[in-house]
Amino acid sequence: MNFYERELRALKRANRFRERHIYADASIDFASNDYLGLAHRKELLHSACTLLQQYEIHAPKASMLVNGYHPIHQNFERALCLANGFEAGIVLGSGFNANIALIEALARRGDTLFIDEQFHASGMLAVRAIDATVIPFRHNSAEHLESLLRASGSKRNIIVVEGVYSMKGDLLHRDIIDLATRYEALLIVDEAHSSGVIGAHLLGVFDHYNIAVAPNHIKMGTLGKAYGSFGGYILASDHIVTYLINRAKPVIYATAPSLFDTLLAHQALEYIQEHHAALQEQMVRRRTIVEALLEIKMPALIAAIPVGSNTKVLAIQQALLREGIVVGAMRPPTVERAIVRMIARLGESEEMLQFTCKFINNFQVK
């Protein structure tokens, strides 16, 4: 038996083996990150198709640095900047690539990069490719971060955090944003799970805390979650975006983002801007249901329900599947201890959400 087969067997023994599944379209979806249910809004699909047909080409063909940059990209970047209050923006092929681009290009030798210990795998991969000093800090702990910043002798400090953490579903501590200002550090905020979900205008964590965007702020986001499309983006000061265009490998050495997906995300941005109040209301109702029935906090739309045992979390997932309901069963190493990860997304009814919460509760106490 070779190394890989032995490792796969060990994963199976520990109930940590992963497989891809194709779920029926008709399944009740409390697992995906399509927070606002936009992935099945046909009017968005139709308008993106209609708009794309008005152009000569429908594929990006080349890197943005060759001739792949298209008015569709530029228009969307401008719309994102205007909505979020940033000077400049750039779209990328994915959120994963956006994090690699930011960390690999901005953190130089002599810098210190402080990263939340629960930051997404894309950032954890990127920090292995840099010469800067990398210091993980305790999850969402402003106290720990401040003690590290105080001790840092670097000219440039970079802080890397998420607006809403993908597994715990908790919100970035406001003090961390303030620390970045006080210590004149660059602040990279991954808004994959907060953009489109929190804030008065559903723009994410700066919007939520009502913090005016400053030159040291960098916002990164995905188009694959609340925006119901595919791709990623970075918003920052003009000089930072220009620097990324000159230095970031996922920008320079990759085909420009899909024109169709960029247009679709642009439609979603306009939809969210137009309907933010109604969407907000629906989200509040879902938060109330989850917090009342499961007795856990859900500041965004991620419910992280502690289970502990890998076997039990899989049993809960299977039992729900028999009811036609899909939830995530997260196990180590993705999380420290097994959780059911339920996304209280707007694409499903409140009644189904209530049913699912009660079902999980009953199962937990058995």
Q: What own/partner pairs with CB < 8 Å and gap ≥ 24 does 210-213 have?
A: 211/174, 211/177, 212/85, 213/84, 213/85, 213/86
In the bound state with ligand PLP, the residue whose beta carbon lies nearer, of 96 and 114, is: 96
Task: Tell me which residue of 158, 115, 109 sits closest to 130, measured CA to CA.
Answer: 109
CB 21 → ligand PLP: shortest distance, Å? 17
Q: Locate 238 and state its tokens.
A: 């003009």
Task: Tell me which residue of 121, 104, 128 sits closest to 254, measured CA to CA.
Answer: 104
In the bound state with ligand PLP, the residue whose beta carbon lies nearer, of 162 and 170, is: 162
CB 277 → ligand PLP: shortest distance, Å? 26
Q: Which residues have CB under 8 Å from 243's CB, separation 6+?
A: 105, 106
CB 88 → ligand PLP: shortest distance, Å? 20
In the bound state with ligand PLP, the residue whose beta carbon lies nearer, of 193 and 208, is: 193
CB 122 → ligand PLP: shortest distance, Å? 5
What residues make contact with ligand PLP under the rule CB under 6 A? 94-96, 99, 120, 122, 162, 166, 190, 192-193, 222, 224, 232
CB 343 → ligand PLP: shortest distance, Å? 12
In the bound state with ligand PLP, the residue whose beta carbon lies nearer, of 289 and 340, is: 340
b/e per residue, 13-43, with b = 16+ CB within 10 A? eebeeeeeeeeeeebbbbbbbbbbbbbebee
In the bound state with ligand PLP, the residue whose beta carbon lies nearer, of 159 and 289, is: 159
Instruction: State which residue has the least CB distance to ligand PLP.
Output: 95
CB 176 → ligand PLP: shortest distance, Å? 16
In the bound state with ligand PLP, the residue whose beta carbon lies nearer, of 148 and 189, is: 189
What's the rounded Cα separation, in Å, for the pair 182 and 214? 12
